[in-house]
Structures are given as structure tokens and as C-alpha cells.
Structure 1
Amino acid sequence: MSAVAGAEPRRLRRLTAVTLAIAGLIVLPGFTVTPSPSPSDPDPLRAAEYWLDDYGIRDAWKTSTGSGVRIAVIDTGIGKGPVEFSGVVGGTDVSGLGSPDGRTPVGARDPDHGSWVASLAASRGTSPVTGMLGVAPDAQLLSISVGFGVSASVPFAEQIAQAIYWAVDNGADIINLSFTTNTPDWDRSWDDAFMYAFEHDVVVVAAAGNRGSGTGVVGAPATIPGVLVVGGVDPHGRASREASTQGITIAVAAPSENLLGVSADGKVVEWDGTSGAAPIVAGIAALVRSAYPDMDADDVINRIIRTATPPAGVTDLPDPLYGYGLVDAEAAVTASVPAVRENPLGSLAEWITIYRRANLVPDPEPTVPPAAVEPLPPVEQQAAASPLLPSTESLLYGTVPLAAGTVAAILVALGVTAAVRRVRLASRAPRR
């Protein structure tokens, strides 16, 4: 099974004076950001994060900032240096390529991908008033480094399964998967791994994939029942032509264009892709779980999809491009939403039962009692006889008839012989 890391960013470009002119940023050599006045935020870098205002995230912060919630980022690894990632509390490497703490970026292509994803979910900024903020800035992070290329010594499917088990065992409340396999099917080992997450009340968020990177339809893990799948939209809330795909498993949509990300070396970049839309929703899930500590994963997912805003002109929901609509963080943490008894996005356990035949229905109990059969009479015990001596049966049916027949044949032969002699003697006598 191969995978595309991040599902993937359509393009990557460093923040320059040209690309950030609208945001009021001036990027100097070395990529040091010098703030300039901004009407919406004292820090122009934060002002460039349009999704914070457009999707109700700043308003949601009045209720929750993600405190007490742990997000596991299963990706290329979260950089160790930037102060924005001071919320990382643990990590591991499952690829055989990174460091034991999962903080060394791995992969020849986009090794900073995991850092970009983490910064959108839970970056803590460079100070209380400067630097990029994630959607849930007070949430904790787990860094699990995965190798997406053929150079990894561990098969990709096995890496993901191990990563999920590790994340759950280390207290993850939310798992973010910003990659696609470009195929709807998944390895059987993922059945147990994802079930392990669901059974331990973990919200699993996955990117839908990008048409710009060759993903025509949603692929695994975004096809797994129960996963919160995120499609992408442009800054105007329209389905992204390049940085998103479509499919019936998409649950909600979030920004996937003109996103910001903090690299492992602390540099800020602009990038596109549902790889970024997914951690935005993972961050919103963290805000909900922080606001409602006793709420289970099924209800967290239900709040996010039921409070989403339907896009203009779309009435038949869920939609293959937008799912149930555009996420609304403020509504997700404040609206009154009835509780549910099961995951509204489907049951992986039921899917396994139907398609894997893993949980077969036991044979029904018989309704008619079995007929009683009287036992056979006991076998008469006989003393063991020598195989060299004849038995009674062999004497009666074999030896005696054979002996009698032999005697009779001998007598007949003697009679015939005597008769022949008399005939010969009679023929030799002289005639008178």
C-alpha cells in the first residue's frame, strides 16, 4: 500500500513580500516577520489566518482553547526547535527512519509536512500576541513520524496501524491523518487498529485528498466508516478545484487554500491542501472536547457536522463536495445539539461484520431434541487366540469342508483307476 503524504499540498511557497502584501507582512532575508499595522489583528501574521475569523474560531476561544485535550499528529514528524510547538508532550517513530521521540522530520518529499499540520491544529505562537496560532492553541500534541516513501524499512500499512495503537495508548483524544492512499480499500490490519481507536473513544480525522495531486476520488483512510473526513474550500468558501476532492464519505469542509504553516526550522510558509483542512477540524474537535470533557467521541463528531453551515445553493446534504457543510467552531462549542447513541458517520464494526466476515453469527440452537437411540448390546469378550492356530469358525467353515472334499476326490480317483485297470485286463484276456 502506498500513500501520499498530506493528501497533498498543491503547492508550497515561502512567504514573500509579494504573497503577503495583502496581509500587511514584510518578509526580510532569513524569513523574519516584521509586523505592520493591521485593522483586524495587532500581529499581521495572525491576521493572515483568515480561517480564525471566518470559521468562528476566535469566538469559540471565548469558551474553549483546547486545554486538557491531546491531538496525535500521525505524519512526517513535528519539528523540535520552534517555540510554536511547545505543546508537544510526547512522540515516537514507526518508520525506522526518524528519532525515537518522533521529532525528527522524515521523508525526502515535504519532511516539514507534519510540522505544518501541527501548527494549524495547535501552534502556540511565539508570544501571547505574536506568531501563528493553531485552532486549539492550548491543546497538547503527540508527534508520530511516518515514512511515506519506499525507503522506510517498515511497510506503510504496518506503520499506520502501529501509530494508531501508540497514539491511543499514550492518551490521544483526537488523531489527525493528513494523507491518502488514493484507493478506497485499506489493509486488513487497519480494521483492528481503527476499531481500537473507536473503542477507546478517540475522534479520528482524515483528509479527503486533492485533485491537484492526482486524487480523483476519496481514498483510505477517508473511506473508513466512523472517520471524520474533511474536504477543502477556497478562501471564499467554495469547493477547491485543486486542493480537494469529492466523495460520499466527506463529512465537513474547511479551508484548504492559502494556509500558513510553521516548518521544523521555524520558517513560516504558505501551502494548500486538505492536509491543512483536516487539522483545522481536528483543532475544532479539541475545542469541543475541552468544552465538554465528559462528551464521547460520537457526540463530538455529531456536534461538528450538525452545526456546520450549508454552502449557498446546496440543499441535499451530505454533499459529495461539502459533506454537511462548512465547519463553524463557535456553533460547535455553544449550540444545543441532541446527543446520539452511535457515530453518525457509520460503524466500522458493522462494516467488518458484513464485508470481512470477521464476526460470524453463531449457529442457531436446535428446536427439536435429538431422537433417543438404545445402546447396542455389549460385545462378548473373548480370550485372545494365537494367530497360528485355527479358530472355531475357520475349522467349521474352512478346514472341515476342505478335508471332506479332498477325501471324496481321492476315493473317486481310486475308483476310476481301478475301473480302468479292469477294462485293460479284460481286453488282454485270450478269446475262446
Structure 2
Amino acid sequence: MGVLTPRTRTSGTRALQRAVGVLTITGMCLVTTPPAFADSGYDNPEFHLDSSSECEFGGNNIASTPWSLQRIILDQLREKATGKDVTVAVIDTGVDNSNKQLAGQMAPGGKDFVGSTDGTTDLEGHGTKVAGIIAAKPWPGTGFSGIAPGAKIMPLRYTGSGNKEKPGNSDTMVAAINHAVDQGADIINISSDTEDNKDPERLRAAIKNAVDAGKLVIAASGNDGAKTKPQKTYPASYDGVVAVAASDRNDERAFFSQWGDFVDIAAPGVGMVSTVPKGGQCSDDGTSFAAPYVAGVAALMMDRYPNWTAKQIIARMQETAERPTAKPDEYVGWGVVDPLAALSDSTEPGETPKLAAPQQAGASQVTPMEVTMGETDAERDRRIAIYVLGAGLLLVFVAGGSGIAVRDWRRKKSSSGLQ
């Protein structure tokens, strides 16, 4: 998979153009197709889902509160914790801290493994989105902020697309993981995987070293879930790594989310609003953005329960996740993370989750606000396409009916001798 690339936002007519495209496909095939996937070179990092949404770096903020935040009550959540004194290493395309919501949120120790910066260069925008979901500060004029705005981000740029830079690979990922451990990061977030699901021994060893050092390692499960057979991805599939799937607004697995017995937990990953380089915000889809949601919740828990181990943190998060059955499954693991529930039980957990009764939405005795955010780009395109299709069918019926009426009138006129 190639690295995600920014796209320029144009006028509202683009939505209509996309809708017409949807209508054309619908009319010709009567089916919809998943997003196209691109292949990258050997051992390059993969992000797997190239969102169809357009994004302008340095653009505007989105005023409304994203649905992924509306499902919880932020005021109550932040009364319990903000992620203070917790450092999250973001191993990604870099983090551009010129965005006002990320300014001042960087921790010491940032590094660039493919260039010569301190990790705060991000040409693709992927890492800046990941960091924003974790720790973006609240800002006037927008309902978006990070899950743990009190946490700090250690930007570790292990891949990039600059003209004078080498592409990232498992070697630079390994170097970034080892650096995060050496620099004292509490949580390590990796929102990509290896080319063709390769399992290099050096990467396995680096992950084991991080887990043995007590670090909480979180990785995206991958975005090839539309395939009929499950397949493992790395580093998400390694022992000790929290593999995060993407859920939708119904707390079900997003269609693209990679599935398998290695999935540990799920989090919102559809229509995810976050920060972008040079300022502003965009929305995107993918397990890449579900993983930092879990990382943000983990940062809150480390703030609230400083004496718990990384294994205890994730065990409690899994035990309190929203799920339809007592046992975990291969689609969402132990369920969709419930931040308030995870922070509402101070009894010390074990280091492995215990089976319990199904945890349904609202079981934490906190009623989330009604989700009122507008539709996503994809939903808008489908709605417009339906309108256009309906209008087209109506015109066909009207034209057909008018033709029949004219024909009958001419017959009557001819039979009566009228000219």
C-alpha cells in the first residue's frame, strides 16, 4: 500500500460529481464496490486504505463534534483524567506541530529516521491525524479534540516521501520502536503494517523488547477486511501488541477492518475527524485512526491508575468494552472500547481480561449525548445519488405517462374526426 497523500478540497460541486459517478455505477451494475487498494514496493509500510475524502492542509476546522466523540461525554471523561504526564510515541509519517491544536503537545525525544528533522515534518498528513486523535487540544470554533489532551506526543518519523529521503521500511520501524523504549515512552502507537504481511525477525524482537519493558504497544489491525479470508498483519499480530479493529456508528466492524483471532479490541474508525499539517482538520477512515483512539483511552487510564501495569490497563479496557456476547470474537475482539466504563471502575484488574456478561452501550450508567453530527462524505454522496436516481426515474415515468396520454388523445381525436 502506498502512503496516504493529501488531496485538495474543491467546491461543493465535487460531491455532485461523485454522486453522478455513483449513480452511473449503480445504474449499470446495481452493485457498489470497495475502495481501490494500491501496492507498494518491497517491505515498504502499508496504510491500506486511501480515503476518498479530499483534504486541504492548512484549511479550516470542522465546527461540529465528531460522532466518535459524541458517543461519550467528554466533560465527565476529563473530570476523571486527561492523560497528564503520559507520553505516547507516534511511529508514523511524522507529526506537524504547526497545527494550533498540536502546538505544545510534543514530548522530548522526537526523531526522524528517514530525514533530518526532529520528527515534526509530515508531508503526507497521516501521522498528524493519528496524533490529533490522541492528544489535540480543545480549540474555539471546533467540537473536535483529542481523547487525552493532557498527554504528550513523541513524534517518530519512520517513513516519508521527501525527494531526498529513503522510504520507510521494517528497519526504520524497528529503529523507531527501540528509540521509543530508550526515550521512556509509555505507549507506542503504530498505525501501519509491513508489506505483504511480512514477519521480519528484527521487528518481532523489537516488539518483544518493548513489551518486556512494560510499554503498551498498540497497532492497527489493517484495512484488508473486505477479503473473504482473515489474514494476520504485523506488528498487530505479535504477542503483547493490542491489535485494534475499526468500528462504525453502529458499534459493528467497519467493512474494511481486518479481522481474525489476533484482533483484541475495536474503536471508531469511520469518518474520523482530526488535525492535518499547516492547520485545519479533515476526516478519514481506517484502522489507522481506530488505534490512536485506543491509545488515547490508554493514556487516560495511565493518568488515573498510575500504578497499573500496561497489561492491567488493556485488560480493564477489554473487560469494559461494548460487546454483544461474553466472549471475544474475530471481528471486534473484546468489543468496542468504552472510555467512561474503563475509567469508572477503580478495582484493580488482573493482567488478562475476565469473561463477563455482555457489555452493552450505556452499561457504564452514563448516558451519552445524542449523535447529531451531519453525514459523512460517503453518506452524502449516496444520498445525492439516490435523489438523482429518484428524480431520473420520476422523469421517466412522467415522460412515459405523458406519451400514453398524448397517444390516447390523438386516437380519440382521430376517431371523432377532429383535426
Above 0.5 in TM-score?
Answer: yes
AA aligned to 2:147 is: V
Contact 1:298 1:343 in 2 (8 A): no
**Counterpart Cα distance in 1 of 2:132 and 2:100:** 11
1:132 partnered with 2:144? yes
1:32 partnered with 2:60? yes
Which residue is 2:121 aligned to?
104
Which residue is 1:85 aligned to?
102
* Corresponding residue SS for 1:144: strand
Q: 2:240 aligns with which of 222, 226, 243?
A: 226
Query: Which protein is richer in strand relative to its size?
Result: 1
Identity score, percent: 29
Offset of residue 5 of structure 1: 4.1
**Counterpart Cα distance in 1 of 2:230 and 2:114:** 31
**Deviations 1:124-146 (CA, angstroms, capped at 9, x unpaired):** 1335x746310001101100012
Which residue is 2:157 aligned to?
145
**Counterpart Cα distance in 2 of 1:100 and 1:266:** 19
Change (3 A) 1:117 1:7: farther
**Counterpart Cα distance in 2 of 1:252 and 1:289:** 18
AA aligned to 1:10 is: S
Contact 1:210 1:216 in 2 (8 A): no
* Corresponding residue SS for 1:85: coil
Contact 1:161 1:190 in 2 (8 A): yes
Which residue is 2:231 aligned to?
217
Q: 1:2 aligns with which of 23, 37, 43?
A: 43
Q: 5+ residue gaps in structure 1?
A: 16-28, 34-43, 345-432
**Counterpart Cα distance in 2 of 1:338 and 1:245:** 32
Contact 1:5 1:178 in 2 (8 A): no
Contact 1:5 1:75 in 2 (8 A): no
Offset of residue 148 of structure 1: 6.0
* Corresponding residue SS for 1:204: strand
**Counterpart Cα distance in 2 of 1:328 and 1:343:** 15
**Counterpart Cα distance in 1 of 2:65 and 2:143:** 11
Q: TM-score, normalised by structure 2?
A: 0.67
Change (3 A) 1:185 1:317: farther
1:62 partnered with 2:79? yes
Contact 1:63 1:291 in 2 (8 A): yes
1:236 partnered with 2:277? no
1:168 partnered with 2:196? no
Contact 1:88 1:141 in 2 (8 A): yes
Offset of residue 327 of structure 1: 0.4
Contact 2:169 2:194 in 1 (8 A): no
**Counterpart Cα distance in 1 of 2:188 and 2:85:** 15
**Counterpart Cα distance in 1 of 2:74 and 2:241:** 22
Q: What RMSD over aligned residues (CA atoms) do the two structures have, in Å? A: 2.8
Q: 1:237-252, aligned counterparts within 5 Å? A: 237-242=251-256, 244-252=257-265
**Counterpart Cα distance in 1 of 2:351 and 2:253:** 31
* Corresponding residue SS for 1:198: helix
Q: 5+ residue gaps in structure 2?
A: 1-41, 355-419
**Counterpart Cα distance in 1 of 2:90 and 2:58:** 28
Offset of residue 294 of structure 1: 1.3
Q: 1:271-282, aligned counterparts within 5 Å? A: 271-282=284-295
Q: 1:270 aligns with which of 283, 304, 307?
A: 283
AA aligned to 1:32 is: N
**Counterpart Cα distance in 2 of 1:54 and 1:76:** 29
**Deviations 1:331-381 (CA, angstroms, capped at 9, x unpaired):** 11112555325699xxxxxxxxxxxxxxxxxxxxxxxxxxxxxxxxxxxxx
**Counterpart Cα distance in 2 of 1:8 and 1:185:** 18
* Corresponding residue SS for 1:270: strand
1:95 partnered with 2:109? no
Which residue is 1:402 aligned to?
none
Offset of residue 261 of structure 1: 1.7
**Counterpart Cα distance in 2 of 1:203 and 1:285:** 8
**Counterpart Cα distance in 1 of 2:58 and 2:276:** 13
* Corresponding residue SS for 1:83: coil
Contact 2:245 2:266 in 1 (8 A): yes
**Deviations 1:99-153 (CA, angstroms, capped at 9, x unpaired):** 33111115xxxx10000110111101335x7463100011011000122679853
Contact 1:7 1:209 in 2 (8 A): yes
* Corresponding residue SS for 2:80: coil
Q: 1:14-413, aligned counterparts within 5 Å? A: 14=55, 31-33=59-61, 45=63, 47-55=64-72, 57-86=74-103, 87-97=105-115, 99-106=116-123, 111-127=124-140, 130=142, 132-147=144-159, 153=166, 156-181=169-194, 183-211=196-224, 217-242=231-256, 244-311=257-324, 315=325, 317-341=327-351
- Deviating more after overlay: 205-214 vs 302-311: 205-214
Contact 1:56 1:331 in 2 (8 A): no
**Counterpart Cα distance in 1 of 2:195 and 2:326:** 26
Offset of residue 76 of structure 1: 0.2
Offset of residue 30 of structure 1: 7.3
AA aligned to 1:326 is: V
Aligned residues: 310
